[in-house]
């Protein structure tokens, strides 16, 4: 077992203008998985990279925070593909230099409560399929066709990615061929594709019960994101040993080894563009940092609405393009601290998804219309049970995280107030949501009554505060079919010297953001220079043995 530092989940170096050690070869805006991956890969090629993070710690949605002696993750509950030498696991190994270990969750990694019925997602293709057939014996054929479709989708992903990596003129030339290689299902919604397989609504609900992993119910989501997520977890789910903050902590040395740094409290105010190309960034403290390569991992709304001068966003067409995408739904989180270890409290290594009914679209619409309506989905995660190192760091304690969708508008009136000082009405609204979500927890695990020591509630304004998502977006831009047709969502922008990365480029998810980082670093450095490194990463010996249920 790797030796882990005592808990100090704050990662990075606090920014001060005098601490800059430029010139830098690249400046990355945002230290989420997309930004850190781009920075680390470029660093591995010898580039000196400064990563600018506005929050007090690095990691973006993979950061953790501490309160009252507890520690919680804010945007990572499980990851797939880490138990075998897959492409993502090899990149994780490389980025962390083998320092990041992954603990398998239970073979039943997700449990779905749909109305009064209970279903589960099982690790392993055959186990997953057989379990579905056990619940729906009359639908065996439809289930097999569904599994085939997922396999086809997996094969098509490289063509989709290639389309995003090409230079504009190559894309114009090759796009028809690449489109031809993509399954027809890629241009449809998840619900449209499933309706071609079955008319059993209960089965459809079970197949799409992970929709909370990207925030859109099946009639609105693209089948591409559905297939990416379903394939991602097909061989089971994993949790980072030591907590999600370990991701940024273990990537940081790669960036530092080439002379770079990850600066925290480092808000970029503007991307400087002159004579048609990016020239650097202007920091919120007024410091100008010159650099010919600026990579934005802050999301496309931040990049083109807030960071790029408005006239440049207009002239380059990005202001217009943003009208074709929309921010994803926001969320409420409850962070629960309990006295007693995960084992004593009987906490599972399985996530709970609680749905009032199989009518995901209707339930979501009713709730977003009226916040007093039942939550359309409540997600409960048990990090202290998943993390084999948690008890060492926090003996006699346990944590739980609860997530539910929310409308940013419910909280918008407090948008200009300061974190921690938003007033009694805001606190009361938060508390009411918190109590309702805690009731779901007690309903499923009644033994926890009387064991909760602390809980606090986050709102979409918290997401804006720590992640700079102005509308509290949970997953960046929405994953509807239209989003996946936007040819401008590529690492390369129309402004020379400005590049994009992160969840808006490929897809949400820690691995989605990481693979965007790979795409961006490859585009920035050029394939000729990046190829030997990519080959080395993909042929490296796997650091971690595969878990028994995880062989692909
Ligand atoms: C509640 C929740 C649960 C999730 N659960 C999972 C899960 O279980 N598994 C999974 O794979 N994925 C999960 N995700 C999704 C996943 O965390 C994200 O898709 C992914 O981490 C996004 O990475 P990113 O680099 O694109 O963006 P981010 O992590 O959001 O990073 C962007 C960074 O840019 C910074 N920034 C923005 N503007 C500026 C500026 N002007 N100056 C400086 N810095 C700036 C922000 O502060 C932020 O740190 C979850 C997300 C949420 C919110």
What distance in angstroms lies between residue 511's CA and the mean position of ligand 1's atoms?
Answer: 11
Closest residue by CA, ligand 1 atom 36: 30
Domain boundaries, the chain: 13-92+240-326+479-550, 125-234, 330-467
Mutation to probe ligand 1, out of 58, 76, 248, 408 (largest number of atoms < 8 A from CB) = 76
What's the pLDDT score for residue 544? Answer: 52
Distance 60 CA to ligand 1 centre (A): 5
Q: What is the DSSP letter of 515?
A: H
pLDDT at position 168 is 80
Phi-psi map region of 68: left, alpha, beta (phi>0 left; psi -120 to 50 alpha)? left
Neighbours of 148 (CB within 10 A): 11
For CA atoms 402, 405, 410, 416, the dihedral sign is: positive
- pLDDT tens string, the chain, 552 residues long: the values are 444 444 578 999 999 999 999 999 999 999 999 999 999 999 999 999 999 999 999 999 999 999 999 999 999 999 999 999 999 999 999 999 999 999 999 999 999 999 999 999 999 999 999 999 999 999 999 999 999 999 999 999 988 888 888 888 888 888 788 877 888 999 999 999 999 999 999 999 999 999 999 999 999 999 999 999 999 999 999 999 999 999 999 999 999 999 999 999 999 999 999 999 999 999 999 999 999 999 999 999 999 999 999 999 999 999 999 999 999 999 999 999 999 999 999 999 999 999 999 999 999 999 999 999 999 999 999 999 999 999 999 999 999 999 999 999 999 999 999 888 999 999 999 999 999 999 999 999 999 999 999 999 999 999 999 999 999 999 999 999 999 999 899 999 999 999 999 999 999 999 999 999 999 999 999 999 999 999 999 988 665 544 444 444
Distance 434 CA to ligand 1 centre (A): 23
| Rounded (10°) CA dihedral 147, 153, 158, 160 | -160
Q: Can you tell me the distance from the alpha carbon of 224 to that of 216, in angstroms, rounded to the nearest whole number?
A: 12
Compute the distance between CA of residue 322 and CA of residue 474 in angstroms, rounded to an integer.
18
Helix (H, G, I), strand (E, B) or coil at 527: helix
Q: What interhelical angle do 33-44 and 87-95 show, nearest 10?
A: 70
Q: For ligand 1, is residue 268 a contact (CB within 6 Å)? A: yes
Q: Would the CB of 348 count as within 6 Å of ligand 1?
A: no
**Residues composing the chain:** 552
Sign for the pseudo-dihedral over CA of 384, 390, 391, 396: negative
pLDDT at 509: 98
> Ligand 1 test: best mutation among 28, 75, 262, most atoms within 8 Å of CB?
75
Query: What pLDDT sits at residue 132?
Result: 98
What's the per-residue H, E or C state across 346-384?
Answer: CCCCCEEEEECCCCHHHHHHHHHHCCCCCCCCEEEECHH
Q: Which of 298, 352, 405 to mutate to test the pocket of ligand 1 (most atoms within 8 A of CB)?
A: 298
Fold of the CATH domain 13-92+240-326+479-550: FAD/NAD(P)-binding domain (3.50.50)
Burial (CB count <10 Å: 0-12, 13-18, 19+), residue 501: buried
Shortest-distance atom of ligand 1 to CA 469? 37
pTM above 0.75, yes or no: yes
Residue 140 vs residues 134, 144, 162, 197, 332: alpha-carbon distances, Å: 9, 6, 35, 11, 37
Could you tell me where the beta strands, DSSP code E, fall in 45-116? 49-52, 64-67, 70-73, 79-80, 102-104, 108-114
Structure confidence at residue 541 (pLDDT):
67
Q: Write the DSSP assignment of 106-151 as a string of letters.
A: -SEEEEEEETTEEEEEESSHHHHHHHHHHH-GGGHHHHHHHHHHHH
Site of tokens 């346990």: 398
């Amino acid at each position: 077992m790797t030796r882990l530092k005592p808990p100090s989940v704050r990662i990075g170096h606090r920014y001060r203008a005098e601490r800059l050690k430029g010139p830098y070869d690249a400046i990355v805006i945002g230290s989420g998985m997309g930004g850190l991956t781009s920075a680390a890969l470029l660093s591995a090629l010898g580039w000196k990279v400064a990563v600018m993070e506005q929050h007090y710690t690095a990691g973006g949605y993979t950061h953790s925070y501490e309160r009252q002696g507890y520690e919680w993750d804010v945007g990572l509950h499980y990851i797939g593909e880490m138990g075998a030498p897959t492409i993502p696991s090899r990149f994780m190994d490389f980025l962390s230099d083998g320092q990041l270990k992954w603990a398998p969750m239970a073979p039943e990694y997700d449990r779905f409560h749909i109305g009064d019925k209970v279903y589960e997602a099982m690790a392993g293709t055959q186990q997953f399929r057989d379990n579905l057939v056990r619940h729906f014996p009359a639908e065996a054929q439809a289930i097999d066709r569904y599994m085939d479709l997922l396999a086809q989708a997996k094969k098509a992903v490289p063509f989709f990615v290639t389309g995003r990596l090409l230079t504009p003129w190559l894309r114009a030339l090759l796009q028809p061929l690449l489109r031809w290689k993509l399954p027809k299902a890629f241009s449809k919604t998840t619900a449209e594709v499933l309706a071609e397989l079955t008319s059993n609504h209960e089965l459809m609900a079970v197949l799409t019960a992970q929709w909370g992993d990207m925030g859109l119910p099946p009639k609105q989501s693209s089948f591409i994101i559905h297939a990416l997520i379903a394939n991602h977890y097909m061989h089971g789910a994993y949790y980072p040993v030591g907590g999600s903050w370990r991701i940024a902590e273990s990537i940081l040395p790669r960036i530092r080894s080439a002379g770079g740094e990850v600066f925290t409290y480092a808000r970029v105010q503007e991307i400087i563009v002159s004579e048609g190309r990016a020239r650097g960034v202007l920091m919120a403290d007024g410091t100008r940092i010159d650099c010919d390569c600026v990579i934005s991992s802050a999301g496309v709304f931040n990049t083109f609405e807030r960071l790029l001068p408005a006239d440049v966003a207009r002239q380059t067409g990005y202001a217009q393009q943003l009208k074709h995408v929309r921010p994803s739904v926001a969320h409420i989180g409850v962070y629960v601290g309990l006295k007693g270890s995960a084992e004593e409290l009987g906490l599972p290594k399985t996530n709970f998804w609680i749905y009032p009914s199989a009518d995901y679209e209707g339930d979501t619409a009713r709730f977003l219309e009226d916040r007093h309506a039942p939550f359309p989905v409540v997600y409960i995660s048990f990090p202290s049970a998943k993390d084999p190192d948690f008890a060492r760091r926090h003996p006699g304690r346990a944590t739980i995280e609860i997530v539910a969708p929310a409308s940013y508008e419910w909280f918008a009136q407090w948008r200009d107030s300061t974190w921690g000082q938003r007033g009694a009405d805001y606190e009361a609204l938060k508390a009411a949501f918190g109590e309702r979500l805690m009731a779901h927890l007690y309903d499923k695990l009644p033994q926890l009554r009387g064991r909760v020591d602390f809980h606090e509630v986050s709102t979409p304004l918290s997401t804006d505060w720590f992640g700079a998502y102005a509308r509290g977006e949970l997953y960046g831009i929405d994953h509807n079919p239209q989003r996946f047709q936007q040819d401008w969502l590529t690492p390369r922008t129309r402004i020379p010297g400005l590049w994009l990365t992160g969840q808006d480029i490929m897809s949400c998810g820690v691995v989605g953001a990481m693979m965007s980082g790979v795409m961006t670093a490859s585009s920035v450095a050029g394939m000729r220079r990046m190829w030997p490194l990519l080959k080395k990463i993909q042929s490296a010996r796997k650091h971690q043995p595969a878990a028994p249920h995880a062989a692909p």
